Structure 1
Amino acid sequence: DMPNEDFNFGPGSLGSQTLMQRRNAMAKIPTSRVDRLLSSMGYGSRKDMARMAKAGGITLDGDDLTDVTMRIPVTPDLPTRMEVDGEPLDPVAGMVILLNKPLGVTCSHKEEGGLVYDLLPKRWKLRDPALSTVGRLDKQTSGLLLLTDDGDLLHRVISPKRHVTKTYRAKLARPLDGTEGSLFASGELMLEGEEKPLAPARLEVVSPTEALLSVTEGRYHQVRRMFAATGNHVEDLHRERQGGLSLPDDLAPGQWKLLSAAEIASIFA
């Protein structure tokens, strides 16, 4: 009889390659003990997770998960399969949050007063890796602020080499004089106390005392200092856009949303 080629798993065969690909794919998926995973996501200590599991507070694929020492694959679809205390699991590592930052809160973990992290679920302060803001908005600047636990993504967004544009709406104390657009676009504007001129920026006039300014750098108080260099003063500053991502109209100050993979990709569009 002729051999059945469907069962030919010799070297170089299609079957051999398929098995190898499957093994490689499985090897790339990280695994974690349930208690360790949930603890790193801020849900509580490992003992807390064991108590919650015994009380039926953790489910996986619709079934109670009582043994928190078991290892499970940490796949992106885990939040659709696992519930903790009756709620879907938070996103695993790689979470990106868009926050409409209100006035009066600070992009810091340690400063006194209101912090942007106070606007998020309390457990997220305990995540490891920790959540960090992608750049900063000062206390008196509102609008689009990204936060993530993905260090690589954070550095890609803020890297000067990526030229990710940030667009601000500035309301000014005095009317524009008409020279600002060409000055900001020239690439020759030098801010006080600095030795390198600013990269070209784009100004769009909205009204005599209001403009949209798009910059690719993130120097200290850059937008305010740019208008100060023209003899004007920014009274109100709001970030509306970062890269190809805009602040949603229905996201009120202090509210946040988790970004999808497509929305994250749009930052670099």
Structure 2
Amino acid sequence: MRLDKCIADHSAYSRKEVKELLRRGSVRVNGAPEQDPGRQVDPEGDEIMLAGVILPTALHRTYMLNKPKGCISSTRTGKTKTVVEFLPPELRKGIFPAGRLDVDTEGMLLLTNDGDLAHRILSPRRHIPKYYLVQLAKPVVEKTVETFENGVVLEDGTRCLPARVAALPGVENTALVELHEGKFHQVKRMFAAVENHVEQLLRVQMGGLPIDVKLGKGDYLLLLHKDIERLFKTPDFSEVLRFCACFFCSYWINE
């Protein structure tokens, strides 16, 4: 495949813009500068860099984003920043969020161009568990634990699937929630049904894949095949609770 076509196919740049990048010396192939748009490359085997950033040329790409508050889980650009806009322009082509987080919810969100993977992640039949760290107005009591385990009935009469909740050890009014479905504003509505209020919400894990604790807010990383496989494994709830206690016990203290 021609180099200019390969870059255009895997980025937001047009063929004309790619030729300008080549002319300016902004492109490297396998570590060496390249200015010939007709250079033949193998998208699966050659490493192409644009301005020092490796261009992912594999057919499918999936990123983990540490979503901050104030942005929307959408591909439509407008007044409010979208989650896709945290990727540089050359990586955005064909990318969309696999699921959503509310505008005021933080944490782990997957961005992908793989429709089949997104379907597997979101399919109700798979029931991939999702884990949320929640800061609450009041402590979690035993009655709340029992209600979640039996399936919370929301204000509109909808019964949720059984869920798990546990207080984070040593942290006041903070809990870990495990869900197996994704209704609109579900965590907030579930706690409202037990006369509590969600003040902060952070998704920390999907299936057996936790958020990378080194990711700052708005940062992202490219997932490997082994990472994606972990999405479809179910961890022990106590392990996720320990993970949160180790890395997120002071997450909101300085806010």
Match of 2:5 in 1: 36
Quote the RMSD (CA, aligned, Å): 2.3
Matches within 5 A, 1:81-92: 81-92=47-58
Q: Work out which of the residue numbers 197, 202, 209 in structure 1 matches 2:164.
A: 202
CA separation of 1:167 and 1:86: change in aligned 2, threshold 3 A: closer
The question of whether the paired residues in 1 share the 8 Å contact of 2:61 and 2:112 is answered with yes
CA drift at 1:85: 4.1
1:136 paired residue number: 100
2:62 maps to 1:93? no
Cross-structure match for 1:47: 16
Kindly tell me the number of residue pairs found equivalent between the two proteins: 230
Taking the aligned partners of 2:24 and 2:105, their CA distance within structure 1 comes to 45
Deviation at 1:54, TM superposition (A): 5.0
Number of the residue aligned with 1:108: 74
1:162-203 C-alpha deviation (Å, 9 max, x unpaired): 11111001111123332111111113x3323355x2111111
Q: Which amino acid aligns with 1:140?
A: D
2:189 is matched by which residue type in structure 1?
A: R
Instruction: Using the aligned pairs only, state the percent identity.
Output: 34
Where does residue 182 of structure 1 map in the other structure?
146
Matches within 5 A, 1:243-258: 243-258=207-222
1:212 aligned residue (171, 176, 180): 176
* Contact 2:127–2:180 (Cα < 8 Å) also in 1: yes
Superposed displacement of residue 88, structure 1: 2.7
Q: How many Å separate the matches in 2 of 1:104 and 1:86?
A: 29
Q: Deviations over 1:195-246 (max 9, x none)?
A: 5x21111112225622100001011001110001111110111111111111
2:114 and 2:107 map into 1 onto residues whose CA distance is 21
Q: TM-score, normalization: structure 1?
A: 0.76
Which string of whole-angstrom CA distances, capped at 9 and with x for unpartnered residues, describes residues 139-172 of structure 1?
Answer: 1111111111111111111111111111001111
Match of 1:4 in 2: none
The code of the aligned residue for 1:97 comes to Y
The residue type equivalent to 1:90 in the other structure is P
Asked if structure 2 preserves the Cα contact closer than 8 Å seen for 1:176 and 1:208, the reply is no
C-alpha distance 172-254 of structure 1, shift in aligned 2 (>3 A): same
Query: Corresponding residue for 1:121?
Result: 88
Unaligned runs of 5+ in 1: 1-31
Amino acid at match of 2:156: G
CA distance in 2 between counterparts of 1:61 and 1:208 reads 52
TM-score (norm 2): 0.80
Superimposed CA distance per residue, residues 51-108 of structure 1 (whole angstroms, 9 cap, x where no aligned partner): 4445554443456655535664431x43xx3333454323433111111111111112
Q: Deviations over 1:120-145 (max 9, x none)?
A: 212333x1xx1111111101111111
Q: Would you say 1:191 and 2:157 are equivalent positions? A: no
Letter in 1 for 2:80: G
Structure 1 range deviating more: 103-112 or 142-151:
103-112
Match of 2:131 in 1: 167
Pick which of 199-208 and 146-155 moved more: 199-208
Change (3 A) 1:204 1:243: same
Structure 1 Cα separation of the partners of residues 165 and 127 of structure 2: 16
**Which portions of structure 1, spanning 4 or more consecutive aligned residues, are displaced by more than 6 angstroms?**
none
Q: Secondary structure at the match of 1:190?
A: coil
Query: Matched residues in 2 for 1:88 and 1:139: separation?
Result: 30
Bigger mean CA deviation after superposition, 223-232 or 244-253: 244-253
Q: Residue in 1 aligned with 2:236?
A: none
